Structures are given as C-alpha cells and as structure tokens.
Amino acid sequence: MRIFVTGASGWIGRALVPDLIEAGHQVVGLARSEASAAALTAAGAEAVRGTVDDLDVLAGAAAASDGVIHLAFKHDIAFSGSFQEAAEADRRAVDALAEPLVGTDRPFVLASGLAGLKPGRVATEQDMPTVEDGSAFSIRAATSLAVLDYASRGVRSSVVRLSPTCHGDGDKGFMATLVATARAKGVSGYLGDGANRWPAVHRLDAARLFRLAVEKAPAGAVLHGVAEEGVAIRDVAEVIGRGLDVPVAPVAPDEAAGHFTWMSAFIGLDAPASNTQTRELLGWQPTGPGLLEDLAKGHYFQGS
C-alpha cells in the first residue's frame, strides 16, 4: 500500500516508517521542515512538505494514498498551555484527511490517548470517552469518536489509544519530563501514596501496532497501545530516584503545580488499561522492555 503518515519524523513515526517499508509498503510522510524531509528521504520514504494546518496538502496526500496514519499532534503548544488550540487543529486535520477516503474502504488510523478514559479502573477497548464537558480533552475525545463514525461512511477507520508513556531511548515525553523535574528539584516526587497507575508501551511495539492497524484493523476498531496494564507512579519515582541518586518523596497536592508544572494535570491520574481485545484482534504481541526495566537501563539519565 501507499500509506500517508503525518508525524512521520516524530517519536513514533521514526520507528513506524522503517517498519512499514520493511513490510513492503510505500510511505509518504508529512514533513514540517527541510530537515524532516531529508530524514524521511534517507529512511526510504517520500516527503510532502507541510504542517497539520495545511488542510489542502493533507487532503491531497490522503486522496493519493491507499491508507492514512495520523500521528501528528501539536504537542509543542499543547504542553505549553494551549491544549485546546492543539485539539481544535487536530480535528480540522482529521476531517481533511478522512473526507477524501469516504466511500473507498481505505484505512484511516488515528493516534489518540488513554489518559483519563476511565479513572480508577481498568479501561478496555469497549469503553468510550466522555465528551460532554467542553474541555480541551473532551475535544480530542470527540475527534476520536468522529474517526470511528467515518466507518459508517465507507472508511476503514480505527483509533489507537496510546498509553500516557510511550517509552524508549530518545523519549522526550512524560518520562523524560519526570526525570528532568527530579534532577531540577533534587527529589523524585509523586502525589499521594503514588499507587496510581499508568499503562505503558515501548515505542517499537507502538509502531508495530500502527502498522497492523493500517493493514488489517476492521472498520470502527478501537485498539489499545498498551503493553503493561498499569505501572505505579511511585515505582517509577523510585527508579528515577536511584538513577539520579536523589531522594524519593511525596509531593503535597497544593504544591503539585509548582513542582510538576504542566505535568501536574497528569501525574495523579490512575489510568490502567487492558490490551486483551487488541492482541486477540490483530495478533499483536508486545516484545519490548517494560517501563521500569527501560528506565533502569540508564539512557533516561544521561546528559544534564
């Protein structure tokens, strides 16, 4: 298949592109810069210059493809206080990408998230997000539901809900941020008793799931990019503390914003999730190291 990938030079995209090519697919990647375009070309993909705001570019590339994987999201502005703006831009991009596929039965795969789906209990692929509060998170949840609705319009659409942490060497997301915070504050912190759990998945396993989804996920499928159902945040904090040789301690709720900054909205989430239905549907078997094992390898603690 000729597959158009947004976010192709991003964290998961850099693992997904070679996986797709190795499986015999032709990859066209969206590139925001000359450097990204050069990296995609070097990886064996074709580059299309543009951003997720260039809706005509997205629509044209989608129309010329046999399938689309949408990984891109404006994380840079989302995590600097403009999550709603990023979520609204994502919805516009999704419609631009999906509309050319209507009535074709071609696949469209969306990267979405698991954080906050069903707090306090193990979320399954059957669970649907709440979209009634009008928040930025609600907007992104509504986008995932809109993608599933395209299944009724002749698109083989599916949603991959990713774990809050998609870890690995080179990660600059949540785990890297917790390490940087612990280094800067001189303490590896957690909220409350730290028993709240995050699901986790290694980057290479996540990339393989996206390939399987574009190849064979049925229309309307919800998939969980989860290798570990739930890792206690206190356990994460303890490995970080050992890695940096700093103490491990709870952070009071009224001090969370000052300590964790933007991460304070996420650090206390209890968001375990199952992958049973995903594995059974696609034959996906995560093989990468677990989160604590990956942290213990030390690559998160290199540098300043």
Least confident window among 97-101, 170-174, 191-195, 201-205: 170-174
Work out whether the CA dihedral 29, 71, 202, 146 comes out positive or negative.
negative
Task: Encode pLDDT of 58-113 as tens digits.
Answer: 999 999 999 999 999 877 766 666 777 888 899 999 999 999 999 999 999 999 98
Q: Name the pTM for this structure.
A: 0.94
Which residues on adjacent β-strands are paired with residue 67? 3
Give pLDDT, residue 115.
Answer: 80
Task: Encode pLDDT of 45-54 as tens digits.
Answer: 999 999 999 9
Would you call 153 exposed, middle or buried from its count of C-beta atoms within 10 A (0-12, 13-18, 19+)?
A: middle
DSSP state of 253: G
Give pLDDT, residue 136.
Answer: 62
Give the mean pLDDT of 230-248.
98
CA atoms of 271 and 120, how far apart (whole Å) = 6
- CA of residue 169 relative to chain centroid, distance: 16
